Chains A and B, each alone.
Chain A
Amino acid sequence: MTKLLEVKDVVAGYGDGPAILNGASIDVQPGKVHCIIGPNGAGKSTLLKAICGMLKVRQGSVMFKGQNLKGKRPDQVLREGICFVPQERALFPKMTVRENLRMGGFSMTDKATLEKRIDEIEERFPILRERRDQHAGTMSGGQQQTLAMARTMILRPEIVMLDEPSLGLAPKIVQEVFDIMKVMTEDGITVLLVEQNALMGLKHADWGVVLDLGRTLFEGPAKEVLTDPRIQELYLGGQKAA
């Protein structure tokens, strides 16, 4: 299987602080949904931040289509085709929905193309057209998450990384998040998902990665990870897998 992104033995942390990631690895295959699971504080968010250039990779490598992303800034990683939707507040609450979409294409130089892509996005997500002139911060949690995810598609990225997109959403709304993820994969976008609810995340993924204490414990096809006894062990006590 060819790899689109290969994260290998990454060591990273915040500022001059201790290493939070200590040997994190993932193989990302094109067009698939990858779900990173692991207990709270395992370093899942930190891993996404290291990939997108918000944190310095101290050791190891992040190979994307044959080149090392290590040392690149977030805007450079973005230009390579990797979008990151951080946990919770990914939007600009006092900008309108349309302005948020425009910000999604901030790195594009061709304004006409940007407006055309925004039109397409509004076509696919009618709620965004309906709410076009409303401040993003005044929408419901589900609508905000729709906007945050739809916004990444403006750049037609190769990889979208989502940090707990279902966090704080009502169970009924959560399904919408996974529906949008499906739309993304139909567009050929590769998804890298962090999900607190391991069962639900793996159910919607092709590939599972288990992270604990900043290391990759193991990875494999989502179905196998889901039934792996080590998962039960990992989540015993603190949280359960569902």
Chain B
Amino acid sequence: MSDLIQILILGLALGGVYALMGAGLSLVFGVMRIVNLAHPSLIMLGAYVAYWAFRLYGIDPLIILPVAMVILAATGVILYKLVFEREARSAKYSEMTVLLTFAFAMVFEGALATAFTNTQRVTSPAYATDAIFIADIFIPLGQLYAGIVSLVLIAGLALWLKYTRFGYAIRATTQNREAAELLGVNVNFVGLVSFAIGLALAGAAGALVSFVFSFYPSKHWEWIAILMSLVVLGGMGSILGTVVAAYTLSVVAAYVGFFFGATWSTLTFFVALFVVLLVRPQGLFGEKPELA
């Protein structure tokens, strides 16, 4: 019994990290209709920021997390200004951005590999290898912290979207860009800010995964596969859907791993994707696809 509870807790903690990874991707897709395939490679950049800050200066990844967020947000602003703002006026916007972000993913991977080699890394603050026991339930502290910080960030994002004026602007633009513009929303600026926030969340996720998983530059392909399935499952662009999908699947994957072995654990995401696409193609929280 305590095994089962322990797996639930681990699943939830990891689910939080996946949710954080997916929330940024989903936010950007919702507002800008960009499927940012480079998102996980930017999470990787966040992980390296945390890794080197710890390795060189002994700074705790949880302390460096806001810095990683700022660095990634700035990267987002530059990318948006240089590429996506101009691209948005092109008729082939959607197709173009898929190719563009795919290219960026490869470029970032190459740059990281050149700079830091393909060695497996993991940030190792003391808590990353520590654990607590509640009754006889064993909880690794690293995963617990990562799960809690993720949850706090996601809740913060949700409250900000729900209650602030800018949050209204983002939700409105996601749901009906034209109507938002007609009511005075500067949709281009909303795009810029959403992109920056999406990447800031990638930076935070990077700092967290840096002590939860070992990583190396090309590992982002593994993440993109998982994140894609989360975003599609959640109903493209629905942040709530993505978060629910992340928690649910992460817990299921944890149980699958426990009962059938770790190899099968990752497969959970793709089987779920396959089933949902067959049964409910608009995803858990998506609307029915519209004609034309």
Contacts and interface: CB of A to CB of B under 8 A. Distances in A.
Interface of A: 15, 52, 54, 74-75, 78-79, 83-84, 86, 89-95, 99, 102-104, 106-107, 137
Interface stretch (B122-130, B181-189, B223-231): B181-189
A84 to B, nearest CB: 5
B25 interface: no
Contacts of A137: 287
- Cβ-closest 3 pairs across A and B: A107-B184, A75-B184, A92-B175
A92 B182 contact: no
A78 B168 contact: no
B172 interface: yes
Interface in B174-222: 175-176, 178-186
A93 B176 contact: yes
B169 interface: yes
A89 B290 CA distance: 12
Contact of B181 (A74, A89, A91, A94): A74
Contacts of A95: 168, 171-172, 175
A106 B166 CA distance: 10
Contacts of A93: 175-176, 287
Contacts of B171: 92, 94-95, 99
A89 B287 CA distance: 14
B180 to A, nearest CB: 7
13 contacts: A54-B181, A74-B184, A75-B184, A75-B185, A86-B182, A89-B176, A91-B179, A94-B175, A95-B172, A103-B168, A103-B172, A103-B180, A106-B165
A204 to B, nearest CB: 24
Contact of B176 (A54, A75, A92): A92
- DSSP class of B's interface residues: helix, strand, loop or mixed? helix
Contacts of A74: 181-182, 184
Contacts of B91: 15
A92 B175 CA distance: 6
B178 A86 contact: yes
A92 B172 contact: yes
B288 to A, nearest CB: 11
A83 B184 CA distance: 10
B194 to A, nearest CB: 16
Contact of B183 (A54, A89, A103): A103
Contact of B186 (A75, A83, A89, A94): A75
Nearest to A108: B184
A74 B180 CA distance: 10
A95 B91 CA distance: 29
Nearest to A86: B178
A95 B172 CA distance: 8
B168 A91 contact: no
A86 B181 CA distance: 11
A15 B186 CA distance: 19
Contacts of B168: 95, 99, 102-103, 106
A153 B184 CA distance: 15
A106 B186 CA distance: 11
A66 B77 CA distance: 40
Contacts of B172: 92, 95, 103, 106
Contacts of B169: 106
A91 B176 contact: yes
Nearest to A161: B182
A178 B181 CA distance: 26
A78 B185 CA distance: 11
Interface in B157-177: 165, 168-169, 171-172, 175-176
Contact of A78 (B178, B183, B287): B183
B175 A106 contact: no
A104 B179 CA distance: 10
A131 B199 CA distance: 36
Contacts of B178: 54, 86
